[in-house]
Structure 1
Amino acid sequence: MEGLYGEHGDRLRRQGGLRGFVLIRVTGDAEEFKARVGPLLLRDPVLHTVLLTHLAERADGNGGDDHAEPTYFSVHRGGVVAGAAMATARVVALGGLPMGLVPDLVGVVAEFVPTAQMVEGLSGVAQRFSAAYAARLGREFSEAQAMRLYRLGKFVAHRADGRPRLATEGDIELASRLIDAFGHDVGEPLVDPEAWARDRIDVRRLWFWENNGRVVSMAGHRGAAAGAARIGPVYTPVADRGQGYGSALTSHLTERILDGGMRPCLFTDLANPTSNKIYAAIGYRALADFKRYKVR
């Protein structure tokens, strides 16, 4: 799949002079996409953590959480890559796409991927894109989640009773139950919690906090991408909250990422003031606000 498109499917869209031409390249080849948009994404690896992490995992042979085949979009203005996005049958990921590129991109995404049920990106960008995407397809949209992207400033270690341990194959059933509970808590249950748990455990990126021989919290992290590594999800069952277990486990993973020479980052749910307070106490500082919209 390869093409050059502008708004309404035009090959080129003039926006005032030669430097105003906007081209949109569409491909299903992750390596080709990475070669095009890499310099743009690498300007701020944390802001672009979603796309960079996805590309790193594809290069490692990991299809990601939903194992879908993505379509990739690069937006070129005046011969320079100005924006990037990807879409699967389930979700459109806009990353740090600038607001001004939404009108150019939305029609092309709707043409190639008309089935997406979710759009996520910078707050205002995601809202504008979702509205236009839904309108083009005769669908409706609504806000699903407000998030904040944090990157670590000065690290402050946190401790709690118990200890961290890496999840193993024998923990797949437990991890499946915990991630299923997490999904229902945030209103986005996974289609296959067991597959998610197995994938994370296979690549050694899922951890538990144990106290008195009992698992009281769970946290995962993604692989390193362009010098950054993203923590999440972090989940503590209701009965075990308030004891600092989630803080201690997040602190542990933060320290491991730092020891590996990477910069930690994470997303938080703005509807959960407790988690935002916890991450700030560990040393995380806000970078940008993101939103996720449902399209139905």
Structure 2
Amino acid sequence: MASTPCPGWQLISDLDEFHSRAAAFLHSAPALHTALLSVTDVLRTRGLHVYGEEDPLFGIRIGDDGARGPREATVTGAFLWTPPHFLALSPLSDAAADELAGVLADAGLQPGGVGAESTTAADFAAAWQRRTDATAAVSYPQRLYRLGTLTPPEPAPAGGARVATDADRALLVRWHGEFHEALGEKGAMGAGEWADARIAYGGVTLWEAPDGTPVAMAGNTRRVAGQVRIAPVYTPVRLRGRGYAGAVTAEVSRAALAAGADEVLLFTDVGNPTSNELYQRLGFRPVRDFTQYSFTR
């Protein structure tokens, strides 16, 4: 389906069209657009239905950004939706968020929630409630961090890091499941598909004990627009408190910088002081808070 004209917003079903029209805008602020950039990259490399059976939907906003006046033919906002997952939005003015809620509601679409920079997410959630019979509730407050000067833990725990391979697939599948079970949510894609996708480009690093037993993992997205995002970081419960998470995160960060990344990013749960303190000790600094809202009817 070609793009559908809307006042301000254009809905797009073709991934290549979205990528060509939104790329410059998304690349203009890679950190704030990290989720849209990484999801678009996965869709382009793994296929349109990697996140679910339904076709994804994309959108761009052209012109007036609600703050700096008319900007004809300039992209000033973007979103993507991979049902059954939440909408992912770029930062938007309150007017642009309200307008998008109206466009989607008028089209009869029913996303289960939204995730975005916190002000944008709150504006969209409020607009969605006004325009539909849905109730919005915060489901996951997050904080985006950017690496400043990497400060590896000293002393490092015994052992060392290595990139996961096909031989580690069963372990990655199991740890992926345990990680999301601890969060109380399903992963964005199936555990097997996730493991295959990450192994294909060396996207998971394991920390091994001296005897070769894996004790923690840290994943990373592919480099897009100069940025790499670390996710997930996981240590089995029985092995926590020994410095493995910090060591493997530091190694993934070091490797990303050595490979040419301009920015190394990660999200944390705002309500988890342990992880927030750990990443700040490693040299990560807060960028912006993000929030996910779930919608119920």
TM category, shorter: 0.7 to 0.9
The alpha-carbon deviation at position 266 of structure 1 amounts to 0.8
**1:25-44 counterparts in 2 under 5 A?**
25-44=10-29
2:73 maps to 1:74? no
Partner of 1:196: 194
Quick check: 1:89–1:113 contact (8 Å CA) kept in 2?
no
**1:28-107 counterparts in 2 under 5 A?**
28-63=13-48, 66-67=51-52, 69-76=55-62, 77=64, 78=70, 79=72, 80-90=74-84, 91-107=86-102
Partner of 2:295: 295
**1:61-210 counterparts in 2 under 5 A?**
61-63=46-48, 66-67=51-52, 69-76=55-62, 77=64, 78=70, 79=72, 80-90=74-84, 91-112=86-107, 114-158=109-153, 159-190=156-187, 192-210=190-208
Partner of 1:18: none
**1:207-222 counterparts in 2 under 5 A?**
207-211=205-209, 212-222=211-221
Partner of 1:4: 5
Q: C-alpha distance in 2, partners of 1:245/1:63? A: 35
Q: C-alpha distance in 1, partners of 2:254/2:118? A: 30
Quick check: 2:43–2:50 contact (8 Å CA) kept in 1?
no
Q: C-alpha distance in 2, partners of 1:295/1:108? A: 17
Q: C-alpha distance in 1, partners of 2:217/2:130? A: 39
The alpha-carbon deviation at position 192 of structure 1 amounts to 2.7
Relative to structure 1, is the Cα distance of residues 193 and 282 closer, same or farther in structure 2, using a 3 angstrom cutoff?
Answer: same
- With structure 1 as the length reference, what TM-score do the two structures score? 0.87
Task: Report sequence identity in percent.
Answer: 32
The alpha-carbon deviation at position 150 of structure 1 amounts to 0.9
Relative to structure 1, is the Cα distance of residues 266 and 114 closer, same or farther in structure 2, using a 3 angstrom cutoff?
Answer: same
Quick check: 1:89–1:115 contact (8 Å CA) kept in 2?
no
Bigger Cα displacement from structure 2, 91-100 vs 101-110 = 91-100
Quick check: 1:88–1:116 contact (8 Å CA) kept in 2?
no
Q: In structure 2, what residue type is equivalent to 1:167? A: A
Bigger Cα displacement from structure 2, 220-229 vs 81-90 = 81-90
Quick check: 2:220–2:232 contact (8 Å CA) kept in 1?
yes
Aligned residues: 280
Bigger Cα displacement from structure 2, 166-175 vs 252-261 = 166-175
Q: In structure 2, what residue type is equivalent to 1:206? A: V
Q: C-alpha distance in 1, partners of 2:119/2:265? A: 21
> Gaps (5+ residues) in structure 1?
7-22
Relative to structure 1, is the Cα distance of residues 61 and 194 closer, same or farther in structure 2, using a 3 angstrom cutoff?
Answer: closer
> Gaps (5+ residues) in structure 2?
65-69
- With structure 2 as the length reference, what TM-score do the two structures score? 0.87
Partner of 2:228: 229
What is the root-mean-square deviation in Å for CA atoms of aligned residues?
2.0
The alpha-carbon deviation at position 58 of structure 1 amounts to 3.4
Bigger Cα displacement from structure 2, 190-199 vs 162-171 = 190-199
Quick check: 1:87–1:93 contact (8 Å CA) kept in 2?
yes
Quick check: 1:85–1:93 contact (8 Å CA) kept in 2?
yes
The alpha-carbon deviation at position 155 of structure 1 amounts to 1.4
Q: C-alpha distance in 2, partners of 1:247/1:81? A: 39
Bigger Cα displacement from structure 2, 160-169 vs 28-37 = 28-37
Q: C-alpha distance in 2, partners of 1:282/1:154? A: 8
Residue aligned with 1:60, SS: helix
Bigger Cα displacement from structure 2, 114-123 vs 265-274 = 114-123
